[in-house]
A and B are shown apart, each in its own frame.
Chain A
Amino acid sequence: KNEVEQSPQNLTAQEGEFITINCSYSVGISALHWLQQHPGGGIVSLFMLSSGKKKHGRLIATINIQEKHSSLHITASHPRDSAVYICAVRSRGNEKLTFGTGTRLTIIP
């Protein structure tokens, strides 16, 4: 079992829908990252958080440390949001990141 699990693996939605991608992890962490990998392959860091909630434009990331769970929300989704979204955690006392297997999001116009 991977230390970091994401759900769903694949998600297809209509333009405008509210999107939620989930990430659960099994270890104590110092930080959690959300990354976006475009169809062309490039990877962009969206958020790094260790508690609470962060917002950037239409993207919102939340984390619940007690439940070992994070969610990434996209409001008013758009076809350009189509990408793979990857959750990664940095374990406490460990400098390396452990990655989830990603969620492939497709937004249909």
Chain B
Amino acid sequence: DTAVSQTPKYLVTQMGNDKSIKCEQNLGHDTMYWYKQDSKKFLKIMFSYNNKELIINETVPNRFSPKSPDKAHLNLHINSLELGDSAVYFCASSQDRTGSPLHFGNGTRLTVT
């Protein structure tokens, strides 16, 4: 049973396209996150939702829009993809927003050509 699953694992697309990455957790956690890992392997928070409510929104271009239909799902939609969006995107969840351990998905490697 995969605890945090994200799809697709690989995504190759052209500049200007719109794409989505889906994330689902079956752990019953309240809080979900999107992280971006750049080419130097540096992780940075993008968004966090707690019970479908946006609680963290870092300085991310508004081409990126998270959507949480319910607390088990947090999808990431990206409009007008740019070369610089190429990275690995990780979804994660935690029991609550105050600092419980994180559970990560396996990542989605996005390549924009």
Are A44 and B43 in contact, with the CB atoms below 8 A? no
B residues apposed to A, CB below 8 Å: 40-45, 48, 55-56, 58, 88, 90, 92, 97-104, 106-107, 109
**How many angstroms between the C-alpha atoms of A35 and B55 in the bound complex?**
23
Are B106 and A41 in contact, with the CB atoms below 8 A? yes
Are B88 and A96 in contact, with the CB atoms below 8 A? no
Among B48, B98, B101, B106, the residue within 8 A (CB) of A96 is B48
Per the 8 Å Cβ criterion, residues 32-48 of A in contact with B are 33, 35, 37, 41-45, 48
Q: Which residues of A contact B103 (CB under 8 A)?
A: 45
Are B42 and A48 in contact, with the CB atoms below 8 A? no
Are A96 and B45 in contact, with the CB atoms below 8 A? yes
Are A45 and B42 in contact, with the CB atoms below 8 A? no
Are B41 and A102 in contact, with the CB atoms below 8 A? yes
Are A33 and B43 in contact, with the CB atoms below 8 A? no
**How many angstroms between the C-alpha atoms of A101 and B39 in the bound complex?**
12
**How many angstroms between the C-alpha atoms of A44 and B41 in the bound complex?**
15
The number of chain A residues with a CB under 8 A from chain B is: 22
Are A96 and B58 in contact, with the CB atoms below 8 A? yes
**How many angstroms between the C-alpha atoms of A26 and B104 in the bound complex?**
26
| A interface, over-half SS | strand
Q: Which residues of A contact B100 (CB under 8 A)?
A: 48
Are A42 and B106 in contact, with the CB atoms below 8 A? yes
Q: Indicate whether A73 reaches chain B with its CB closer than 8 angstroms.
A: no
Name 19 A/B residue pairs within 8 A (Cβ), A-sorted. A31-B99, A33-B101, A33-B102, A37-B41, A41-B106, A42-B107, A43-B107, A44-B104, A45-B102, A48-B100, A84-B41, A88-B43, A95-B55, A96-B45, A96-B56, A97-B102, A99-B43, A102-B41, A102-B42
Are B101 and A43 in contact, with the CB atoms below 8 A? no
**How many angstroms between the C-alpha atoms of A96 and B97 in the bound complex?**
9
Given contacts A33-B101, A44-B104, A102-B42, could you give 12 more A-B pairs where the C-beta distance is less than 8 Å? Answer: A30-B99, A41-B106, A41-B107, A43-B104, A45-B102, A50-B99, A84-B41, A95-B48, A95-B55, A96-B58, A99-B44, A101-B41
